Amino acid sequence: MKFRFLLSVILFTGWYCRAQQPDADLHKAIMLQANSMAKAFIDKDYDTFFQFTHPAVIRVMGGAEKMKKETIASLKELEKETNVKFLSVNFGELSKIETSGEELQCTFPQMIEMKVPGGRLTAITTLIALSENGGKNWYFIDASGNSLEAMQTLIPSLSPNLQIPEAPDPIFEADNPAPQEKE
């Protein structure tokens, strides 16, 4: 009896581990590509950064060249006029990977840290990850405070099971003031 129970546990554990492996591989691929996108953004390697842009976003922006030109100009203007410098992009835990038609989809938090006058600002948004080829390549779309319903007007194939939480207010950390000397 003990042998059968032990055998059942071993077989179940082996099945469970194999069942979990595809999601683990997908999670690894998503995070690897998201980190490549983030590094490209911070390094201002916009050609690489835009490779992760979903075709629907490119279409809405008027095509790849127009999107690149306008986005780069906006980022340069933001840096020049407000003295903002993007420092880092980090990611939180991925949601469950959903299948919608032929696409794999999930969401996860993105934390963008910026140097701003007087301190640092961290904005937390939700990224939607989509793959049209079984998880080999991923596109990322920042929900930018939009609801799932609003995002479905851009990409109707988005699964109704995706979760896009309301974006929290950015977090500001003031620079440490210089210590004042005693008189």
Q: Within a 10 A sphere around the Cβ of 45, how many other Cβ atoms?
A: 14
CA pseudo-torsion sign 53, 103, 125, 155: positive
Instruction: List the pLDDT tens digit at each of the 183 positions of the chain.
Output: 443 443 333 434 343 433 445 688 999 999 999 999 999 999 999 999 999 999 999 999 999 999 999 999 999 998 889 999 999 999 999 999 999 999 999 999 999 999 999 999 999 999 999 999 999 999 999 998 899 999 999 999 999 999 999 999 999 999 986 666 665
Residue 110: Cβ-neighbour burial (10 angstroms; 0-12, 13-18, 19+): buried
| Total-model pTM | 0.82
Task: Show the domains of the chain with their CATH numbers.
Answer: 26-174 (3.10.450.100)
In the block, tokens 């581990």 appear at 17
Distance CA 13, CA 125 (A): 36
Contacts for 156 with CB less than 8 Å, ≥ 6 apart: none
- The CA-CA-CA angle for residues 45, 51, 54, to 5°, reads 135
